[in-house]
Amino acid sequence: MTATVLPIALALFSLSLLLNLYRLLRGPDIVDRILGLDTLNVNAIAVIVLGGIYMDSSLIFEAALLIALMGFVSTVAMTKYLVRGDVIE
Amino acid sequence: MMGESMALPFWLDALIALLLLSGALVALLGSIGLARMPDVYMRLHGPTKASTLGVGATLLGSMIWFGVGHEGLSAQEILITVFLFATAPVSAHMMARAALHRRVACREGTHGEPWDEMDRLPGYAESSSSSDNQR
């Protein structure tokens, strides 16, 4: 049953990646773009995890962990730059 | 690739399928909210809550899938889950604060302005009054 559900879940996550890309490219304000990029990161983690199930190997979870770390750090850096005008004070 | 999934008992297979499908649907719901809501403050609601739940359900299904009989539970999955659940509220809070600080315009018909509460905080109104001309 998982084998039939897995492509459907991948398709749904790809659709949500496209919606996030739409917000990232169009967003009227810079905060919209940051929000779209952050959601894109979170959904990309899920796509990588589903790909790991599909290939039946947990090797690419390292990439998912790296994306989780870097996505959070970049979001914090961008919002901190917007609020403070400087990243490292 | 997935041929040896018959080793799983049926109810566990159904549970994994349910977790993956509901996680994908919830994440799609959050992304639709991100794409369709009218202003920044509403757009923050969709992905920051729904997407976390959706990715969390997907990760839980993956943990069950790898934990039962395949390669064993890997430490990366637990780390990803803990890290995602710990950092999603922090980044949402910082994005909301950035939107309030920049005084991003909100939808017509909003009662009051979203940054009124922030101006009432002691010591904040003076520091951000220089950004008044950004509206």
Token pair of B92 as six digits: 């949402």
Interface test with B, best of A30, A50, A53 (most B CBs within 10 A): A53
Selection from B8, B47, B63 nearest residue A20 by Cα: B47
Of B5, B44, B84, the CB nearest to A2: B5
Of all residues in chain A, the percent with pLDDT exceeding 70 is 100
Q: What is the pLDDT, as a whole number, of residue A89?
A: 72
Q: What is the pLDDT, as a whole number, of residue B129?
A: 47
pLDDT digit string (tens) for A38-56? 999 999 999 999 999 998 8
Q: What is the pLDDT, as a whole number, of residue A35?
A: 94
Q: What is the pLDDT, as a whole number, of residue B124?
A: 63
Higher pLDDT, A50 or A2: A50
DSSP letters spanning chain A: -HHHHHHHHHHHHHHHHHHHHHHHHH-SSHHHHHHHHHHHHHHHHHHHHHHHHHHT-STTHHHHHHHHHHHHHHHHHHHHHHHHS-S--
Q: What is the pLDDT, as a whole number, of residue B114?
A: 72
| pLDDT tier for residue A13 given thresholds of 50, 70 and 90 | very high
Of A1, A61, A76, the CB nearest to B94: A76
Domain locations in chain B as residue ranges: 8-134
User: Which residue from A minimizes the CA distance to B134?
Assistant: A29
Residues of chain B with pLDDT under 50: 1, 3, 5, 129-135
Q: How far is it, in rounded angstroms, from Cα A66 to Cα A87?
A: 21
Of B17, B94, B102, the CB nearest to A5: B17
Q: Are B77 and A65 in contact (CB under 8 A)?
A: no
Q: What is the pLDDT, as a whole number, of residue A21?
A: 95
Interface test with B, best of A8, A10, A12, A20 (most B CBs within 10 A): A12
Q: What is the pLDDT, as a whole number, of residue B123?
A: 64
Cβ-based contacts of B24 with chain A (< 8 Å): 8-10, 12-13, 16, 46
Tell me, which fold does domain A6-84 have in CATH?
Helix Hairpins (1.10.287)
